[in-house]
């Protein structure tokens, strides 16, 4: 079943990549598929050629991949529901089945109607579906990391994966800094294998600067060559960091594989994580390409939020797999099953809240309603549901997006703080207690940073808030991993307690 699982996940990843190409080739401003099918006419200046520029071919390929991925995941879901698996696994299977059906309906509706907003919903549901497939309670949880006995202890391999998780944090630092200073659209070329070579002469600089002059950002606020260079280098270094991450993955991976320290199942799982990273890089490039479309002066929120959320999924997989390799046998913890549930809820809530935080940061919602706890004297923003369709208010309506982030942040903070306090009150291993203490400190700091960022309307402080969110998310994952061996208290113990 693991082979089928890996195959279904790869098909889903390829279908998501195809969906990104469908969205990109038709532009952010005019997502009208029904008007382009069969025309083979991409927007002027599109950098790719041949079949990748044929709208009909791209849509057809995406359709085929989507159908195959849906069939594969539904097959695994049905098999999981019909088998005698633990309750959480069956519940996860049911959720994934519902998400894949919703995904297919959204895709067909977006294609037939040509509605951009439905396409965005389709894109965001794909991220949720991928997360569901990779979660420990889904039928597609094909990673070999979740349970003791399925993975050999190898602290070196585990440490290598945790190093890569740290590099994901570095990627968020670089990308967040580039976004904060407005450098996201400065490099309008993508050279995956030679892009580490900087501009070497005036001709190179003129070519890059000339491409940037075609962006809506430049046309809205022209800058000279010196200003362009100041924006270029942070974005260039961010891309070089991504290439360094690929090297740090591939070279040790090859070494460990040749030494026999990575078994076949683990190799397939790590290969899947690498493909997720490659897909993340490709998605990032298409997001940068939106700068060539009229009126798009910064990375669109409906692109930026999935970009961050998918990066956090990769971070989760790296941390979980790395920690499982270092300590493959869970520590038995009687009576901690409820704490494990709270820790799982904390991880999920932090992830969702980060998604709305990305929407706030990229939509300009940070600069409206700069008061707390009310929104300029009101508890809900006026015109919260003014946009049509209704659900688009939760993506592009600044007041609604900020309100959702406020509400989610409060619920998340209370949940995480409750989890941390409960963890500190229990008899846990010293290292795990330290993690819960760190979790309490980080969530308190995160809430204070969020309030200060909102009241001041300060982008730079918002960048710090974003980085602390990643640290909080990683700590919550570590806390949840430490509770893998949690079980309900024996009936006799409960009776004695009463």
pLDDT digits (tens, 9 = 90+) for 168-201: 999 999 999 999 999 999 999 988 888 889 999 9
pTM value surpassing 0.85: no
Q: If you average pLDDT over residues 207-221, what whole number do you get?
A: 93
* Choice between 329 and 3, residue whose per-residue pLDDT is larger: 329
- Using left for φ > 0, alpha for ψ between -120 and 50, and beta otherwise, residue 38 falls in left
pLDDT beyond 70 at 52: no
Q: For residue 495, what are the contacts with CB-CB under 8 A and spacing of at least 6? A: none
Q: If you average pLDDT over residues 445-453, what whole number do you get?
A: 95
How do the residues of the chain divide into helix, strand and coil, expressed in percent and rounded to 5? 70, 0, 25
Say which range, 36-50, 171-185, 211-225, 250-264, has the weakest mean pLDDT: 36-50
Peptide bond into 155 cis (omega under 30): no
What's the confidence (pLDDT) of residue 211? 93
* Choice between 49 and 150, residue whose per-residue pLDDT is larger: 150
Contact 360, 450 (CB under 8 A): no
Element (DSSP H or E) covering residue 486: strand 486-487
pLDDT beyond 70 at 255: yes
Alpha helices in 259-370 (DSSP H): 264-289, 301-326, 337-363
Task: Give the per-residue SS3 of 341-385.
Answer: HHHHHHHHHHHHHHHHHHHHHHHCHHHCCCCCCCECCECCCCCCC
What's the confidence (pLDDT) of residue 56? 59
pLDDT beyond 60 at 449: yes
Element (DSSP H or E) covering residue 334: strand 333-334
Q: For residue 253, what are the contacts with CB-CB under 8 A and spacing of at least 6? A: 262, 270, 274
Contact 446, 414 (CB under 8 A): no
* Choice between 84 and 381, residue whose per-residue pLDDT is larger: 381
Q: Sketch the domain layout of the chain as residue ranges.
A: 1-142, 165-300, 329-498
pLDDT beyond 70 at 360: yes
What's the confidence (pLDDT) of residue 331? 84
pLDDT beyond 80 at 10: no
What's the confidence (pLDDT) of residue 239? 93
Say which range, 13-17, 269-273, 454-458, has the weakest mean pLDDT: 13-17
* Choice between 126 and 257, residue whose per-residue pLDDT is larger: 257
Distance CA 27, CA 17 (A): 15
pLDDT beyond 90 at 86: no
What's the confidence (pLDDT) of residue 35? 43
Highest mean pLDDT among 8-22, 87-101, 411-425: 411-425
Residue 447 tokens, joined: 């809430």
pLDDT digits (tens, 9 = 90+) for 430-440: 999 999 999 99
Q: What percent of the chain has pLDDT over 90?
A: 50
pLDDT beyond 90 at 307: yes
Q: If you average pLDDT over residues 111-127, what whole number do you get?
A: 68
What's the confidence (pLDDT) of residue 63? 72
Say which range, 154-163, 244-253, 290-299, has the weakest mean pLDDT: 290-299
Give backbone dihedrals phi and psi of 428, rounded to 5 degrees, phi first.
-115, 160
């Amino acid at each position: 079943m693991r082979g089928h699982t890996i195959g279904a996940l790869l098909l889903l990843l390829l279908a998501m990549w195809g969906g990104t190409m469908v969205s990109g080739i038709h532009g952010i401003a005019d997502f009208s598929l029904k008007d382009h099918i069969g025309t083979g006419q991409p927007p002027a200046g599109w950098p790719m050629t041949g079949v990748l520029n044929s709208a009909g071919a791209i849509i057809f390929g995406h359709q085929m991949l989507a159908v195959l991925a849906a069939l594969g995941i539904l097959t695994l879901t049905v098999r999981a529901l019909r088998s005698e698996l633990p309750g959480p696994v069956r519940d996860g299977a049911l959720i994934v089945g519902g998400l894949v059906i919703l995904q297919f309906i959204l895709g067909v509706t977006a294609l037939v109607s040509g509605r951009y907003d439905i396409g965005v919903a389709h894109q965001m549901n794909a991220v949720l579906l991928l997360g569901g497939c990779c979660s420990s309670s889904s039928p597609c949880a094909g990673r070999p990391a979740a349970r003791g006995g399925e993975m050999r202890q190898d602290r070196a391999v585990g440490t290598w994966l945790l190093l890569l998780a740290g590099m994901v944090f570095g990627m968020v630092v670089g990308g967040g800094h580039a976004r904060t200073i407005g450098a996201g659209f400065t490099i309008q070329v993508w050279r995956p294998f030679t892009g580490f070579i900087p501009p070497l002469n005036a001709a190179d600089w003129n070519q890059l600067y000339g491409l940037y002059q075609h962006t809506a950002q430049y046309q809205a606020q022209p800058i000279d060559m010196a200003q362009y260079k100041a924006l270029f280098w942070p974005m260039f270094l961010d891309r070089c960091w991504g290439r360094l991450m690929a090297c740090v993955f591939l070279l040790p991976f090859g070494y460990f594989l040749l030494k026999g320290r990575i078994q076949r199942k683990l190799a397939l799982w790590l290969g899947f994580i690498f493909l997720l990273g490659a897909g993340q890089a490709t998605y990032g490039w298409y997001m940068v390409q939106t700068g060539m479309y009229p009126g798009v002066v910064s990375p669109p929120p409906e692109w930026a939020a999935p970009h961050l959320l998918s990066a956090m999924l990769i971070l989760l997989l790296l941390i979980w797999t790395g920690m499982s390799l270092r300590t493959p046998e869970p520590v038995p913890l009687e009576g901690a099953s409820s704490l494990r549930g709270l820790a799982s809820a904390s991880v999920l809530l932090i992830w969702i809240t980060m998604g709305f935080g990305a929407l706030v940061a990229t939509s300009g919602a940070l600069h409206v309603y700069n008061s707390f706890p009310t929104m300029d004297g009101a508890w809900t923003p006026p015109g919260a549901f003014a946009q049509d369709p209704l659900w688009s208010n939760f993506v592009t309506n600044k007041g609604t997006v900020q309100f959702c982030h406020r509400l989610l942040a409060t619920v998340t903070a209370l949940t995480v703080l409750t989890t941390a306090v409960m963890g500190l009150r229990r008899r846990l291993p010293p290292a795990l207690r330290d993690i819960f203490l760190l979790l309490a400190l980080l969530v308190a700091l995160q809430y204070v940073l969020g309030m200060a960022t909102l009241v001041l309307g300060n982008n730079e402080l918002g960048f710090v808030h974003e980085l602390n969110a990643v640290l909080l998310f990683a700590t919550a994952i570590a806390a949840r991993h430490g509770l893998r061996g949690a079980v309900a208290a024996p009936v006799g113990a409960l009776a004695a307690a009463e």
